[in-house]
Amino acid sequence: MIKRPIIDTLEFAHKGQHQTLQLRSEDFSRLTEESMIVNDTVQANVTGGIQEDGKPFVDIEILSALQQTCQRCLGLFDLQINSRSRFIIASREDQLVEIAHEEQDVNTIIAEKELDLVSFVEDELLLVLPMVPLHQDGECESPQIPGESTNLISPFKGLR
């Protein structure tokens, strides 16, 4: 278990700080056993900064691969995760609504003196996981061909 870094979000943004985390499955408490971390490594890059319009933000980038069970063929596959999200920091609750109005498709967080980065990364990781994991089209182990019987053994086989 790594030492869990705690950041002051506004200070982190204003100073343009950066944190790279190398996390393992034991660092995550809410990740279910169905999602096994491939190579047991999740890399997260967290960067603070100020937008041109003056809004402070925290960017979070997650690089990992999680083993998932395809819900169509029940085969295992590695889901590559390469996600990047920006969180605008609001210093007060009422600013959250304001920012949501001004900016489209943006995440907001309320400023915190003590944000647990590991938990923040875990929140984001859980969000990018699909509700229903599926292979890419055509990559299932026993693809079902539309129009064909899924019953591979014909009941008439062998009958004469």
Contact flag: residue 31 with Zn ion (CB under 5 A): no
Spatial neighbors of 45 by CB under 8 A, at least 6 apart, are: 18, 19, 20, 21, 59, 60, 61, 63
Q: Give the residue, chosen from 70, 115, 117, 125, that forms a contact with Zn ion under the rule CB under 5 A.
A: 70
Q: Which is nearer to Zn ion, 73 or 111 (CB)?
A: 73
Contact flag: residue 111 with Zn ion (CB under 5 A): no
CB atoms within 10 A of CB 125: 23
Of 8-16, 39-47, 65-73, 125-133: span binding Zn ion (CB under 5 A) = 65-73
Spatial neighbors of 113 by CB under 8 A, at least 6 apart, are: 8, 9
CB atoms within 10 A of CB 44: 22
Taking CB positions, which residue lies at the least distance from Zn ion? 70
Q: Which is nearer to Zn ion, 72 or 86 (CB)?
A: 72
CB atoms within 10 A of CB 95: 16
Q: Which is nearer to Zn ion, 76 or 127 (CB)?
A: 76
Q: How far is the CB of 135 from Zn ion (least distance, A)?
A: 3
DSSP state, residue 157: T
Q: Give the residue, chosen from 72, 85, 99, 112, that forms a contact with Zn ion under the rule CB under 5 A.
A: 72
Residues in touch with Zn ion (CB under 5 A): 70, 72-73, 75, 135, 140
